[in-house]
Amino acid sequence: MSAGAGVLRPRAHVHRGTVVAAAFWFHAGALGVSEARRRVLAAWRPGASVWVLDGGYLLRLPAPCKVAVEAAPGLPLVLESGVLTSAPLTPKERERLAPPPGAVVLVLAGRARVHVPGEARQLEPGAWLDVSGWQRMTVKGLGAPPPVMQHVLAPLPPPTRESFGPGVPALAPEAQRMLARMEGRAVPVARREGLLSRLRQAFGTRPAVAPGSAMAVRRAGLLARLRNAFSPGSEATGDHHVTGSGPGLWQRLFGSVASREGLTRAAQDTASFTPARPSWFARLMSGLRGDTGPADPPSSLSAGSRPASPSPLMQALRSWLRAFAGAPDAKEAATPSPRADTPTSPRRPPGPGALARLKSWMAENTPLGRLVLERKRDYLRRLLELFDQGDIDEALRHAIPLGRDPSPDAQLALGVPSPREHLHIQPTPNSGPPQMFGGGAVFETLRQRYRDIFRRLEREGRIDEAAFVLAELLNATEEAVSFLERHGRLRLAAELAEGRDLPAGLVVRQWLLAKDVGRAVAIARRSGVFADAVLRLEKSHPREAEALRLLWGDAHAEAGNWARAVEAVWPVVSARPLAKAWVERGVLAGGTSGAKLLVHQALGFPEGFSAARGAVEALLSDESPERAPERFAFATELLRQEPSDAYAALLTPTLRSLMRDRATELSVPLDALIKRLRNVKEPAMAALRLDLHLPAEPVLRAWSELPESERMVTPVLRDRHDAGAHAVHDAVVLPGQRVLLALGEAGARLVGPDGRTLAWFDVPAFSLVLSSQGDRALALARRGDVWRLSRLDLVARRATRWCDTELGAWAPTYDGDRWFVAVRDTVMMVDALAEDLRSLWRVPQVGGAVVEVAADAQHLSFLVLHLSAAQDFGLLERWGYALAGGPTLRQRAHVPRLSRAPDIHALTPDGEVAAGRRDVTEEEQLPPWPVLPSFVGRRNHAIPWKDPSRVGMVLAHAWHVTRFIEGSLHTAVLRDLAGHPRVSFQFSGLPPQVVRLTDDWCLVHDLLGRVVWVDLHSGAVHAVPVD
């Protein structure tokens, strides 16, 4: 409590009559603790917060409400200029108290007390409820449960050795162990045989390996066999150590130095297998690192998994070992840095640790290291002997795959020296002969031998085995796909292309050739690679390319993208009747896309000019600035057409309309287009070129590009007299200044620019998801735990019910084809054209509940709220994806400076995040407000942070809107990228404002039926009547 100059006794001690209360205060001393808590719980609403203040409980309401003071459950507090007061204060009394923004003024016992922000302590009222005697009962709805969303494209695993037919032999145990170490997996361990079996092998007359095999070596002596039979590291048949002594004490303690971490250049061109059982020290280090698997493979955590919390002693021991080994601390590794997570500053890869350097030194300077090198030489020598003897089957059993760029594990296993990451002087010299065996030559030799085997198998007609050599041993996946296609193995080629993550366009091509059209189209829609797949097909398979073009155009037409649909099928002459129907539908849809199609209708079909003449004259003679983008799109498309009589007839009126637009409207760049039209070599333009000169640039500027000195705030005021006849739950702006209104159970209404109702859709609509073309939308209505989805065709003016499904968050727009939604901890790409609910792509178990999703044509972003084991706030994480070529994760980062779960958060498709809380403390009100920059590197918003009455925020690429509440006045302020206010929407009354924002328009509405939107190009304000 602040210590003012003297004691203030205000004239009024409480509010009187009916007030708009923003909070209630309950006196625990006067009411009793039990009664005060009961009243708090009775008045609590979702979104409210409870605080301990001045011996009582302060209940902050999620939204102000009208209440009669004598009937209020507690002492009502009114929000005045950012301060909660329990009594009306005169200007002099307020000046004397001087309460800071966010303070609370309580008048008790005739005295005014000021409580500054941060003095109150928040508590959880749920702790007051005794639920120990409650039993949880499973309930079931009376209706049928919603269907489970089907996944259209289940992940296809890469082909295995069995996929290439029975001619490919199984991998030998020695090669399995070597391959496991190269890939960082657990080394397969054979079951240990009993004493009798080991004695039989030790004293038997036959060696463990067949005499005719190149893998057989000189039989070991009696002492060696006894040592091998009874040593702790001995294994079953096929796993015996070859020539050389068994592992000694040091090797059993610290493991073979031929493991994946410590080999040096002296061992870099041999190949062998090492004992599968991890050493004692390796198992100890694995436990201290917290690995759940064996010590050999590197452990990893999935996106949604959380390791168990270790004890403080184990954490300290692990930290010491990480510091000793040169690894980053666990806390640093778990806490991503915003700067380090940006693409412009990648994290520097760590150098070798102390243990790795120690093992490397041992491999070069100890007898054990030389023993390991001998074993690697033996394995490589035996493998080369198999090639020389022509035993292809046995060679394939023992061959080790080679990559174009071998991983560090593979380089270590076969002796390829890894390149230096940094040109730093090493504190210790590299002793030993670095060119002892010429590691690069070893890989080249093996690659050449594999090539020889491939050519031999191809000559013998063993196609599957030859493809296996290409795909598995040489890692030449694209060559293997082409080889399989050339020999008619089309389905295996498609499975190989998809399983090995080849370019999506190539995958679509292969599935189309394999006659699996459904999967080809689904992958093309998911990844947006129709154009790439068509180009890959046109040269070699022109008929299939035409078929894919038709499928491409059909997908765009079903999504309402008529211009793209016509562009896709236009090269197919036989599809012109289909393209004509799509052109007519697109012209009716209007907008810039309809203007482009108007050119095709006039010039692309016989009798088309006469059919389009009326629409062309109406567009070019219209002088309204709102249709200037349509005339610009019409002229741009006209310049792409071939010269003809109809083409020449359109040039002059088009140029005149652009000259008229240039004098009044600068929201589109017209100068370059006008110059191109004037330079067209047509007789109709020759005389016009002499008389028509390009005027000087007008002094008028577009509203969105005004200089800072001319940027004035446009006020938009609405009171209760402006209320409409229906409650508006959502609204969006369509091309042609039309507006689509969601009226709840009353359905959806399409309103024209003049306010007349153009269409009424009889489906429940509480939320709207608008397509990017503006010709269709999805209407959402909650039905208990599920949402009812309906499709709205705004051109045909038809509504159809789609399905019922569970939804947690969703993108507010979609492209007519793909819609991104989230259900609990799973994000999905929904097929918006399917009859039932299906997903084309999904990311399950992201680690928490998804609270917001944003997507456009290029990017996808979503926010994940992570909770701790005690269900407290952990962190708010953003995932960012690029959609080109298939959703590809670009960045994961957490929003900094958040200590509590945010109740305000905003997100753009390219990943810019703003998040915070309404009830911030004084310590939290420090610049900057918690934000996360976009992962594409663009300029971010300048967000004011000193806004104590802020209750919401909406972000777009170039604009953002902040909502405030002060008493019964709701204000939404539109700001540009630099943070300058441009429009202030002020609605009086109780319902909160709802904001929809794009880069073209900003719309504000509420449940009283007041709808206003602003054109962000011209600055024109439009009011929509709701009659």
> pLDDT (tens digit, 9 = 90+) per residue, 920-930?
655 555 556 77
Burial 193-229 (b: 16+ CB within 10 A, else e): beeeebeebbeeeebbbeeebbbeeeebeeebbebbb
DSSP state of 146: P
Any domain includes 140 = no
Q: How far apart are CA 818 and CA 727, in angstroms?
A: 30
Structure tokens at 57: 């409980």
Most confident of 82-91, 414-423, 936-945: 82-91
Q: Quickly tell me which residue has 């960082």 as its tokens.
A: 184
Cα–Cα distance list, 541 to 508, 533, 869 (Å): 13, 11, 57
Report which of 127, 145, 165 is spatially closest to residue 467, judged by C-alpha positions: 165
Q: Under a CB-based contact definition with an 8 Å cutoff, are residues 150 and 36 in contact?
A: no
Our CA angle for 750, 1020, 633, nearest 5°, is: 75
- At residue 183, does pLDDT exceed 60? no
- At residue 1011, does pLDDT exceed 90? yes
3-state SS assignment for residue 327: coil
Q: Please state the domain count of the chain.
A: 5
- At residue 409, does pLDDT exceed 50? no
DSSP of 45-86: -TT-EEEEETTEEEEEEEEEEEEEGGG-SSEEEEEETTEEES
Q: Dihedral, CA atoms, 732, 733, 739, 745, nearest 10 degrees?
A: -10
Final residue in a domain of this structure, among 575, 603, 621: 575
- At residue 500, does pLDDT exceed 70? yes
Q: Which residues are 894's β-sheet partners?
A: 877
Each residue's pLDDT tens digit, 603-614 = 989 888 889 999
Mean pLDDT for the stretch of residues 853-877: 93
Q: Under a CB-based contact definition with an 8 Å cutoff, are residues 731 and 741 in contact?
A: yes
795 vs 352, which has greater pLDDT?
795
Our CA angle for 474, 477, 483, nearest 5°, is: 100
Q: What is residue 435's predicted lDDT score, i.e. its pLDDT?
A: 34
Mean pLDDT for the stretch of residues 129-133: 83
Burial 846-874 (b: 16+ CB within 10 A, else e): bbbbbbbbbbbeebbbbbbbbeeeeeeeb
- At residue 330, does pLDDT exceed 50? no
Our CA angle for 212, 213, 216, nearest 5°, is: 105
Any domain includes 864 = no
pLDDT band at 201 (very low <50, low <70, confident <90, very high): low
**What amino acid occupies position 411?**
Q
691 and 708 share a domain?
no
614 vs 359, which has greater pLDDT?
614
- At residue 255, does pLDDT exceed 70? no
3-state SS assignment for residue 901: coil
pLDDT band at 67 (very low <50, low <70, confident <90, very high): very high
Q: Under a CB-based contact definition with an 8 Å cutoff, are residues 548 and 540 in contact?
A: no
- At residue 695, does pLDDT exceed 90? no
Any domain includes 599 = yes
Cis peptide before 948 (omega within 30 of 0): no
Q: How many CB atoms lie within 10 A of CB 286?
A: 19
Each residue's pLDDT tens digit, 361-390 = 666 677 777 776 777 777 778 878 887 887
Q: Under a CB-based contact definition with an 8 Å cutoff, are residues 75 and 66 in contact?
A: no
Q: Per mean pLDDT, which range of 263-272, 581-590, 824-833 is the poorest?
A: 263-272
Report which of 433, 435, 377, 431 is spatially closest to residue 258, judged by C-alpha positions: 377
Any domain includes 196 = no
Report which of 104, 90, 153 is spatially closest to residue 518, judged by C-alpha positions: 153
Cα–Cα distance list, 178 to 172, 199, 398, 411, 436 (Å): 10, 27, 9, 12, 22
373 vs 477, which has greater pLDDT?
477
Any domain includes 271 = yes
pLDDT band at 990 (very low <50, low <70, confident <90, very high): confident
Q: How far apart are the first and last CA of the chain?
A: 51
Q: What is residue 32's predicted lDDT score, i.e. its pLDDT?
A: 93
Q: What is residue 880's predicted lDDT score, i.e. its pLDDT?
A: 96
Query: Which uninterrupted H or E stretch holds 826?
Result: strand 826-831
Tell me the percentage of the chain whose pLDDT exceeds 70: 72
Q: What share of the chain is helix, strand, coil (3-state, %, to 5)?
A: 35, 20, 45
96 and 240 share a domain?
no
Any domain includes 556 = yes
DSSP of 732-756: EEEGGGEEEEE-BTT-EEEE-TTS-
441 and 521 share a domain?
no
**What amino acid occupies position 339?**
R
DSSP of 678-706: HT---HHHHHHHHH--PPPPPS---GGG-
Q: Per mean pLDDT, which range of 280-289, 890-899, 914-923 is the poorest?
A: 280-289
Q: What is residue 694's predicted lDDT score, i.e. its pLDDT?
A: 54
Q: Which residues are 1005's β-sheet partners?
A: 994, 1011
Tell me the percentage of the chain whose pLDDT exceeds 90: 40
Ordered strands of the 1021-1024 beta sheet: 994-997, 1001-1005, 1011-1015, 1021-1024
Task: Tell me the average pLDDT of the chain.
Answer: 78
Q: How far apart are CA 209 and CA 236, in angstroms?
A: 12
Region of residue 251 (phi > 0: left; psi between -120 and 50: alpha; otherwise: beta): alpha
Q: Under a CB-based contact definition with an 8 Å cutoff, are residues 278 and 286 in contact?
A: yes
Q: Per mean pLDDT, which range of 33-37, 437-441, 598-602 is the poorest?
A: 437-441
310 vs 118, which has greater pLDDT?
118
pLDDT band at 167 (very low <50, low <70, confident <90, very high): low
262 and 359 share a domain?
yes
Q: Under a CB-based contact definition with an 8 Å cutoff, are residues 335 and 215 in contact?
A: no
Q: How far apart are CA 747 and CA 235, in angstroms?
A: 74
Final residue in a domain of this structure, among 127, 150, 178: 127
Q: How far apart are CA 900 and CA 83, in angstroms?
A: 23
Write out the residue range of the structural domain in which residue 273 sits.
168-191+235-297+355-418+432-461
Q: How far apart are CA 55 and CA 41, in angstroms?
A: 17
* 880 burial type by CB count under 10 A (0-12 exposed, 13-18 middle, 19+ buried): buried
509 and 627 share a domain?
no
What residues contact residue 546 under an 8 Å CB cut-off, 6+ apart?
A: 572
377 and 413 share a domain?
yes
553 and 642 share a domain?
no
- At residue 955, does pLDDT exceed 70? yes
599 and 551 share a domain?
no
Q: Under a CB-based contact definition with an 8 Å cutoff, are residues 651 and 614 in contact?
A: no
Q: How far apart are CA 586 and CA 664, in angstroms?
A: 28
61 and 80 share a domain?
yes
Q: Under a CB-based contact definition with an 8 Å cutoff, are residues 834 and 787 in contact?
A: no
451 and 527 share a domain?
no
Q: How far apart are CA 514 and CA 497, in angstroms?
A: 12
Q: What is the pTM of this model?
A: 0.69
Q: What is residue 893's predicted lDDT score, i.e. its pLDDT?
A: 95
Q: Under a CB-based contact definition with an 8 Å cutoff, are residues 400 and 415 in contact?
A: no
Q: Under a CB-based contact definition with an 8 Å cutoff, are residues 1009 and 725 in contact?
A: yes
Each residue's pLDDT tens digit, 558-589 = 988 999 999 999 999 999 999 999 999 999 88
Q: Per mean pLDDT, which range of 211-220, 769-778, 784-793, 812-821 is the poorest?
A: 211-220
Q: How far apart are CA 45 and CA 38, in angstroms?
A: 14
Q: Under a CB-based contact definition with an 8 Å cutoff, are residues 760 and 749 in contact?
A: yes
Q: Under a CB-based contact definition with an 8 Å cutoff, are residues 880 and 852 in contact?
A: no
Q: Per mean pLDDT, which range of 388-402, 411-425, 816-830 is the poorest?
A: 411-425
Mean pLDDT for the stretch of residues 129-154: 77
Mean pLDDT for the stretch of residues 960-978: 89
Q: How far apart are CA 829 and CA 819, in angstroms?
A: 6
953 and 1017 share a domain?
yes
Q: Under a CB-based contact definition with an 8 Å cutoff, are residues 582 and 563 in contact?
A: no
Mean pLDDT for the stretch of residues 894-910: 90
- At residue 433, does pLDDT exceed 60? no
Report which of 464, 447, 466 is spatially closest to residue 455, judged by C-alpha positions: 466
- At residue 993, does pLDDT exceed 80? yes
DSSP state of 864: E
Any domain includes 679 = yes
DSSP state of 992: P
Q: What is residue 305's predicted lDDT score, i.e. its pLDDT?
A: 40
Final residue in a domain of this structure, among 700, 735, 756: 700
Any domain includes 910 = no
Determine phi and psi for 427, rounding to 5 degrees: -70, -25
Q: What is residue 657's predicted lDDT score, i.e. its pLDDT?
A: 87
337 vs 122, which has greater pLDDT?
122
Each residue's pLDDT tens digit, 542-552 = 999 999 999 99
Q: What is residue 399's predicted lDDT score, i.e. its pLDDT?
A: 79
Q: What is residue 136's predicted lDDT score, i.e. its pLDDT?
A: 78
Q: Per mean pLDDT, which range of 301-305, 783-787, 1011-1015 is the poorest?
A: 301-305
734 vs 260, which has greater pLDDT?
734
Q: How far apart are CA 927 and CA 942, in angstroms?
A: 11
255 and 385 share a domain?
yes
Report which of 538, 537, 530 is spatially closest to residue 554, judged by C-alpha positions: 530
Q: Under a CB-based contact definition with an 8 Å cutoff, are residues 727 and 749 in contact?
A: no
Our CA angle for 766, 767, 770, nearest 5°, is: 140
Burial 18-57 (b: 16+ CB within 10 A, else e): ebbbbbbbbbbeebeeeebbebbeebbeeebbbbebbebb
Report which of 870, 891, 871, 873 is spatially closest to residue 881, judged by C-alpha positions: 891
